[in-house]
Amino acid sequence: MSVHFNFKEIFTAFMVLFAVIDIIGNIPIIIDLRKKAGHIQSGKASLIAGFIMILFLFLGQSLLSLIGIDVNSFAVAGSFILFFIALEMILGITLYKDEGDINAITASVFPLAFPLIAGPGSLTTLLSLRAEFHIENIIVAIILNIVFLYIVLKTSSKIERIIGPNGIQIIRKVFGVILLAISVKLFATNIKILFN
């Protein structure tokens, strides 16, 4: 089996996952979680989120095959999810909100690692990326995102003070536009394959 490391694929996959995970935009949620739970284990949350994403990257396709869905169909469905996530980011609206009680003991795992970081958006994105990119490049992109994620979780209070609420909103909107463009490209590429 040959290895196909490609900087362009790694960078694109990293940016797509970075936009979907939206860790900078989620800083206010992380601050709120930290206040409610008392403490967040940044390392534990990062490792569990990374493990879930890599596991789904390998087993997601098999799970889809079990229920008779191909990767291209899933990628088209994923493009719709990315589209709506992008709309949320750009317009500052919430299309879906899960109101659950926060358990201080498991706050690092739930809701932080799953579903906030490794949630439906990022898992769908992984299979959508798998339809276009080599798996080794996606793994590198996941690892880079997890490293960045860990740094942000460790320094979330400082980042919030430096960037401020307006800065966070600007970053969300910029990544929202990027994500919107990616969702359109993902849809166009995979819909062609399905019709051919």
Question: Considering the domain boundaries, does residue 86 fall inside one?
Answer: yes
Spatial distance between the Cα atoms of 34 and 12, rounded to a whole number of angstroms? 31
Q: What is the CA radius of gyration of the chain?
A: 17
Q: How far is CA 114 from the centre of its chain?
A: 11
Question: Considering the domain boundaries, does residue 1 fall inside one?
Answer: no
The one-letter code for the residue type at 112 is L
Question: Considering the domain boundaries, does residue 92 fall inside one?
Answer: yes
Question: Considering the domain boundaries, does residue 167 fall inside one?
Answer: yes
Question: Considering the domain boundaries, does residue 2 fall inside one?
Answer: no
Question: Considering the domain boundaries, does residue 170 fall inside one?
Answer: yes
User: Is the pLDDT score of 103 beyond 70?
Assistant: no
**Which domain covers residue 50, as residue numbers?**
7-96+103-195
Question: Considering the domain boundaries, does residue 13 fall inside one?
Answer: yes
Question: Considering the domain boundaries, does residue 164 fall inside one?
Answer: yes
Spatial distance between the Cα atoms of 32 and 19, rounded to a whole number of angstroms? 21
Whole-number pLDDT of residue 170: 84
pTM for the predicted model, two decimal places? 0.78
Q: Alpha carbon of 19 to those of 35, 105, 186, 195: distances in Å?
A: 25, 28, 15, 29
> What's the total number of domains in the chain?
1
List, for residues 44-54, the tens digit of each pLDDT value.
Answer: 999 999 999 99
